[in-house]
Amino acid sequence: MRKCADIAALTLVLAFLPAAAGGSPYYLRLATLALVYMAWTVAFNLIFGHTKQLFLCLNALAGTAGYVAVVLAIQLKLSPWVTVPIGVAAAAGLGALFSYVSVLRGLGVIFLGIVTLAFSLIFHNLVLGLRQFTNGETGLVTRGLGFPLLERPVAGYYVFLAVLLAALLVYHLLMASKSGMAFRALSDDELTAELSGIDVTGYKVLAAAVGSAILGLTGALFAFYNGIVSPSVFSFVGVDIPVLIALLLGGMRTRLGPVLGAVAFALIEELVRPFGQLNVLVYGVLLIVLFTTFRQGLVPVLARASAAFRGTRAPAAASRPAREG
């Protein structure tokens, strides 16, 4: 049970956060947004951290699920309980497709990056172009579409907390099973993993599909929570870049890294908010500084610090250096 102590502590802290926020809607919304980014970063950790697939279309995957769920709910008058799973399936299918095609064609990290970046732009232009369904730049109002739970701030917070915990549970189950071993092997050396009989293609597609499903679920629910869905909600700079920074901050290939990274990122965002437009500049500086000097992330550093504090060596799993490849 010691293995899950960190998650239990995290759950406890997050469960009492709304009470600590003292009913301030502003801070509650910030906390909910942080939960959304945590779940997205957990997904990206699976896709990029563990299986080295550089998806630069996180916004498009989350947005596909969001738009599919909302547009179907409006056009066909379906309940979100039906449309959200359809949206999630669409995102998971797309993620799996990109992964499969990239393995099939032997695309390296960069070419997969370009293909997914192109998809991200196609998504953006499709949303703008299909005005009769998506209402273009203005977006669609999602309030009153049948998700009253998500329209109440505190309830919304707990829905996203549940999503995050579910994502962490899926992550834990994947990593604790045979697939976790495969992820570790193929992130060290793909060829060797393939030669030792690991189905590299299958596990890469699995990681991409599960990750995209988490991205999609969070994105679709966020579309309903947010009250409005527009291209700017799912923009490249608004989703992909923060998630990439949060993952690097927290530490790739660690269980708690995405969570801590997203919290750290949310704090940084809040600090630069008074300066308005400067956030893009800060993103740039963060990307460069993190990638050149802090590639391990917070979690390994904290694990080592706590081990030194206790005067023992950190457990091997926690201090496994997140060597980046």
If one asks whether residue 47 binds other proteins (CB under 8 A), the answer comes out as no
Least separation in angstroms between CB 185 and other proteins: 18
If one asks whether residue 232 binds other proteins (CB under 8 A), the answer comes out as no
Q: Where is 236: in which H helix or E strand?
A: helix 236-250
If one asks whether residue 122 binds other proteins (CB under 8 A), the answer comes out as yes
Least separation in angstroms between CB 110 and other proteins: 5
Quote the CA–CA distance of 290 and 235 in Å, as a whole number.
Answer: 22
If one asks whether residue 292 binds other proteins (CB under 8 A), the answer comes out as yes
| 184 contacts: CB under 8 Å, gap ≥ 6 | 50
Quote the CA–CA distance of 158 and 146 in Å, as a whole number.
Answer: 18
Please identify which residue in 8, 9, 25, 129 interacts with other proteins, judged by CB under 8 A. 129
According to CB under 8 A, which residues from 249 to 278 bind other proteins?
A: 277-278
Rg, the chain, Cα only? 19
DSSP 118-171: HHHHHHHHHHHH-HHHH-TTT-EE-TTSS-HHHHSHHHHHHHHHHHHHHHHHHH
Please identify which residue in 9, 155, 188, 291 interacts with other proteins, judged by CB under 8 A. 291
Sign of the dihedral through C-alpha 116, 87, 165, 13: positive
Q: Helix 236-250 and helix 109-129: axis angle, to 10°?
A: 150
**249 contacts 299 by C-beta, under 8 angstroms:** no
Neighbours of 40 (CB within 10 A): 30
If one asks whether residue 109 binds other proteins (CB under 8 A), the answer comes out as yes
Stretch that binds other proteins, among 117-125, 172-180, 209-217, 260-268 (CB under 8 A): 117-125
If one asks whether residue 107 binds other proteins (CB under 8 A), the answer comes out as yes
Least separation in angstroms between CB 30 and other proteins: 22
Quote the CA–CA distance of 50 and 79 in Å, as a whole number.
Answer: 35
DSSP designation for 46: I
If one asks whether residue 61 binds other proteins (CB under 8 A), the answer comes out as no
The residue among 108 and 202 lying less far from other proteins, judged by its C-beta, is: 108
Please identify which residue in 15, 128, 169, 308 interacts with other proteins, judged by CB under 8 A. 128
**187 contacts 253 by C-beta, under 8 angstroms:** yes
The residue among 15 and 285 lying less far from other proteins, judged by its C-beta, is: 285
Quote the CA–CA distance of 24 and 26 in Å, as a whole number.
Answer: 5
The residue among 281 and 305 lying less far from other proteins, judged by its C-beta, is: 281
If one asks whether residue 286 binds other proteins (CB under 8 A), the answer comes out as yes
Please identify which residue in 86, 141, 282, 307 interacts with other proteins, judged by CB under 8 A. 282
Please identify which residue in 18, 95, 113, 258 interacts with other proteins, judged by CB under 8 A. 113
Stretch that binds other proteins, among 4-12, 39-47, 119-127, 193-201 (CB under 8 A): 119-127
Q: Where is 11: in which H helix or E strand?
A: helix 5-20
The residue among 136 and 180 lying less far from other proteins, judged by its C-beta, is: 136
Three-class DSSP category at 196: coil
Query: Residue 256 corresponds to which tokens in the numbers above?
Result: 């708690």
The residue among 56 and 303 lying less far from other proteins, judged by its C-beta, is: 56
If one asks whether residue 105 binds other proteins (CB under 8 A), the answer comes out as yes
Stretch that binds other proteins, among 71-79, 101-109, 170-178, 179-187 (CB under 8 A): 101-109
The residue among 95 and 113 lying less far from other proteins, judged by its C-beta, is: 113
Residues contributing to the site for other proteins (CB under 8 A): 54, 101, 105, 107-111, 113-115, 117-119, 121-122, 125-126, 128-129, 241, 244, 277-288, 291-292, 325
